[in-house]
Amino acid sequence: MLSLILKRLGIGVITVLAVSVIIFFGTKILPGDAAQIRLGQEATEANVAAMRERLGLDKSYVQQYLSWLGNFVRGDLGVSLASDTPIMNLISDRYQNTLYVAVLTAVIGVPISLTLGILAAMFPGTLYDRILTFVSVSLVAAPEFFTATLLVLLMVFVLGIGNAVVVGSADGKNVFQLIAHFALPIITLSFVIASQLIRMSRAAVLNVMSSPYIEMAILKGVPRRRIILRHALLNAIGPIVNVVALNLAYLVTGVVVVEVYFGYPGLATLIVQAVQTRDFVLIQGLGMIFCMTYVLLMLIADIAAITSNPRLRHPK
């Protein structure tokens, strides 16, 4: 088991290194000169050259990459090219806002989605199962901004609940106040993850239900509810955990549309602003944070799958 975990960890490190190369050299091909943008269009060539030397942009791309990667490993994300502010200072408050929404969505949306999916597996082919399947497939087809727009129309303009734009600070609020503060983003993201979790949890449980030992339990007259909760669900944990981890990674790294739509200051809106100002250092730092978050969650999912499934622990 230890060798499998170390293998997954090695794959994660290689993935992070590969993504770091893509992020660094990808930002280099973006149009615009960071030194020119920082000094303005009226800056002289001498001033631009001096600024490029100060920022280390006069070195080769390989030297810049190695220097940047070494600083990142030491925890130094650099200084913003647009505001001359340390990246960590820019990220700290924004990361907190994104984390609030991600954690609250996970705490509320994941258990509800898994419960609905398991209930659908308990009663396959029934009206409840068909309605739930139709709703989940419809949510998969609907983009985030469309779901958010419908929620705003319904809750803000029809029911008069919530705000179309998330304003104000979240500091000093308890859990219930945070839920009220981020209500519409949380509901929108809950619908997004529910569309996948419901279908995947239902499919994972039903796949286990076709196993011979489950068929034997059915022939013995064991109630279907007991079979699912005590036997099938434990063997379906592996794929379910992987889907949960993917959705948790999405909550942290893929909420650009939702954050921009509701206008609350999170990491996604920060990276959009960084692209607009050609702040390459900030883009690189945020890209690596997103990548490491995704890889870490997938590593946790792999470890959980290996731990819960003896066939993965003993492949022979």
How far, in Å, CA of 275 to CA of 272, rounded?
5
How far, in Å, CA of 252 to CA of 105, rounded?
11
Report CA-CA distances (Å) from 87 to 93, 156, 267: 11, 36, 12
Rounded average pLDDT over 210-237: 80
DSSP for residue 153: I
pLDDT greater than 70 at residue 309:
no
Q: What residue ranges define each of the domains in the chain, with the CATH number in brackets?
A: 92-280 (1.10.3720.10)
pLDDT greater than 70 at residue 172:
no
Tell me what pLDDT residue 169 has: 58
Range of 49-53, 80-84, 117-121, 247-251 with top mean pLDDT: 117-121
Residue 188's nearest CA partner among 152, 242, 141, 227 is 152
Model confidence at 316, in pLDDT bands (50, 70, 90)?
A: low
DSSP for residue 228: I
Tell me what pLDDT residue 308 has: 65
How far, in Å, CA of 131 to CA of 120, rounded?
10
How far, in Å, CA of 287 to CA of 293, rounded?
10
Which of the pair, 312 or 204, is modelled with greater confidence? 204
HSE, CB side, 13 Å, CA atoms: give it for residue 278.
13
Tell me what pLDDT residue 205 has: 83
Kindly report, residue by residue over 29-43, the tens digit of the pLDDT: 776 666 766 666 677
Kindly report, residue by residue over 274-305, the tens digit of the pLDDT: 877 777 888 888 888 888 888 888 788 777 76
Tell me what pLDDT residue 312 has: 59
Tell me what pLDDT residue 57 has: 72
Q: Where are the alpha helices (DSSP H) in the chain?
A: 2-28, 34-39, 45-55, 61-73, 87-122, 127-141, 144-151, 175-181, 183-209, 212-219, 224-227, 233-235, 237-253, 256-262, 267-276, 280-308, 310-313
CB-based contact 99:185 (threshold 8 Å):
no
Model confidence at 206, in pLDDT bands (50, 70, 90)?
A: confident
Model confidence at 165, in pLDDT bands (50, 70, 90)?
A: low
Kindly report, residue by residue over 104-129, the tens digit of the pLDDT: 888 888 888 888 888 888 888 888 88
Range of 51-65, 178-192, 230-244 with top mean pLDDT: 178-192
Tell me what pLDDT residue 314 has: 61
Which of the pair, 167 or 233, is modelled with greater confidence? 233
Four-CA torsion 206, 208, 213, 214, nearest 10 degrees: -20
